[in-house]
């Protein structure tokens, strides 16, 4: 399956860029997180992450809730919505499918290398 075919399965094809994918898959992997934890996990800068979280929240991919951390009423927790979770799963599956496709393409070449066969046409140069 090609990359564009995977994007069609997502609720929001526009999110298929590196940074939104990174945030969605990080939240899928870790669950509810504070923005500072997302920053540490993704190495995104605070200002960039804030804008990205706003964009993903406006798309219905995540929610930000304040006051849910015991002892810290100002703390914000970020969590995927069901729509965000579906997209994170679709992104992960797309990456798996792409990797498997690449490995299938490489498999004949790897088998040739393992068996010690030369590259097609090798040994005919200079004749």
68-111 tens-digit pLDDT: 777 787 889 999 999 999 999 998 888 888 888 888 888 787 77
Domain count, the chain: 1
Residue 121 belongs to a domain = no
* Residue 104 within any structural domain of the chain: yes
Boundaries of domain holding 68: 3-115
| Assigned domain for 124 exists | no
User: DSSP character for 33?
Assistant: B
| 37 within a domain of the structure (yes/no) | yes
Q: How confident is the model at residue 115 (pLDDT cuts 50, 70, 90)?
A: confident
Structure confidence at residue 95 (pLDDT): 83
The answer to the question of residue 33 being in a domain is yes
- Percent of the chain residues topping a pLDDT of 70: 79
Q: What's the confidence (pLDDT) of residue 16? A: 47
Question: Would you state the pLDDT for residue 125?
Answer: 52
- Distance between CA atoms of residues 37 and 76, nearest Å: 11
What pLDDT does residue 18 have?
83
Q: Give the residue carrying structure tokens 């564009």.
A: 4
CB 66 within 8 A of CB 73: yes
pLDDT at 87: 92
Residue 125 lies in a domain: no
Q: How confident is the model at residue 53 (pLDDT cuts 50, 70, 90)?
A: very high
What distance in Å separates the CA atoms of residue 122 and residue 124, rounded to the nearest whole number?
5
Whether 126 maps to a domain, the answer reads no
| Per-residue pLDDT, 121 | 54
In which residue are the tokens 């090609």 written? 2
Residue 120 pLDDT more than 80?
no
């Amino acid at each position: 399956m090609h990359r564009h075919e995977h994007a069609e399965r997502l609720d929001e094809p526009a999110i298929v860029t590196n940074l939104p994918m990174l945030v969605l898959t990080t939240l899928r992997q870790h669950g509810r997180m504070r923005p500072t934890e997302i920053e540490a996990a993704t190495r995104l800068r605070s200002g960039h992450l804030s804008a990205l979280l706003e964009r993903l929240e406006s798309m219905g991919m995540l929610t930000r809730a304040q006051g849910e951390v015991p002892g810290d009423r100002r703390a914000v927790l970020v969590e995927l919505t069901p729509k965000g979770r579906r997209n994170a799963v679709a992104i992960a599956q797309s990456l798996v499918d792409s990797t498997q496709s690449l490995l299938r393409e490489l498999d004949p070449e790897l088998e040739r290398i393992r068996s010690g066969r030369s590259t097609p046409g090798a040994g005919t140069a200079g004749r």
